Chains A and B, each alone.
Chain A
């Protein structure tokens, strides 16, 4: 059977679309499916998600035995019902709580996707993240202080130490109120 779009190449994608109860059959080649940009399931959905799901399956838990779902029943998000097995299959989280539940397994995945990074270094939301911004500031100051100590520039290190104390005091005070 030839592709119904180009009539040149053999049709390799066959599918049925049911839209508002109307049944439509399509037979097209992969080339046309991609090129025409028709929103055909399977034609351009070989995407990052599938690649990703491949990566997730690279988890030794899964490559060693296929019935891991039964061996590791504990990793299931109570809120949305997503299991780690499902997550590995679809490559998407079900809700924000999944991040907590699957946390022990996330680092290797995130490292692979984000060039070795596992921690956020960007924007912090203004309203809900106010205290986080102070915390982030403390972390960078502590790192700076360490550097100065290593370089034996103790005066500068002491200056930063005072800044750190001030922020810590402010946080303590905030908690006390």
Chain B
């Protein structure tokens, strides 16, 4: 398969659209956790119960379309190959938990992969909406709409005082996790991030790396999300996160301008060195690739590198993950082979860009 076609199939269609503030905010995500009233939660459910949860949901939603987002396709985890599941995880369409630990896990995906509904994850239903750029409110509106649509068809576990009942007490109430993926290279370069993270934590928000809990912030990409789900309305949760993200965007812009004004040559040197590494290396680890991609993306945003598309960071951060590399080469690879393949893929991708 040609690289061009592989990429176009690999990258979720929603990612190709440009969103507001997309020079800094890569994507916005809303997740709602819901459970069915009459079934034991997936972590304790027997095989029969787990199966009938899928059937109940499938019966409710099958052959129905929800306004603008098109049809859903149901995929059973058991029917997927391990690497296929891994690719879904790398695309953020399913969680590692669903891929590895769920029994009778399944996912409903819409055409452009902007909506995924996980079934039998930690909770019976997890609705996820992904938007490009900074569009938390839009994502919440869509998630709420889908939630109402599902609620017409199945009975949710809901309690007047505790709200939506979830398997884990950290999700009870709204069951809402809102998160924003941000590229903050200038705040990292100017060593402000280590000061900012504790401040954000104090506001009840969490800062994580790109692949969630416990992961490092590879490529200066940070995921900021709410911690509390109980006691505040969905709108308030979103507004709190929104205002913090707005401030981060402003601070990042100021830091970028300061760097550009006072250290332009040094910055240019760093960016073009990284470009050189990406364009020429024969072996590259995911960590080094992430660092260089971050530099190059900053160069594009600052207008120092011309003729490269902005989406290159988002795209290559995902394409150079182990699952994708294996999918692309059609075989399983050990870490050394991956580093070679990764370097080749990046070189080819940059060539595509130059020809275009």
Contacts and interface: CB of A to CB of B under 8 A. Distances in A.
Contact of A48 (B37, B160, B170, B204): B170
Interface of B: 35, 37, 39-41, 43-44, 96, 99-100, 122, 144, 147-148, 151-152, 155-170, 172-174, 176, 204, 211, 213-216, 228-234, 237, 287, 322, 335
Given A79-B40, A126-B151, A120 B231 contact: yes
B interface majority secondary structure: loop
Nearest to A112: B169
A121 B233 contact: yes
Contacts of B204: 115
A53 to B, nearest CB: 10
B230 A119 contact: yes
A117 B231 contact: yes
In the A-B complex, list the 3 residue pairs whose CB atoms are closest, starting with the nearest: A117-B231, A120-B163, A96-B157
A121 B322 contact: no
Given A110-B172, A120-B173, A123-B144, A46 B232 contact: no
Given A49-B168, A82-B44, A99-B172, 15 more contacts: A34-B216, A48-B168, A92-B122, A93-B41, A93-B168, A96-B41, A113-B170, A113-B230, A118-B161, A119-B231, A120-B172, A121-B230, A122-B233, A127-B152, A135-B160
B220 to A, nearest CB: 16
A123 B43 contact: no
Interface of A: 5, 34-37, 39, 44, 46-49, 52, 79-82, 90-96, 99, 106, 109-110, 113-129, 132, 135
A46 B144 CA distance: 31
Contact of A96 (B152, B165, B173, B232): B165
A33 B151 CA distance: 39
Contacts of B41: 80, 92-96
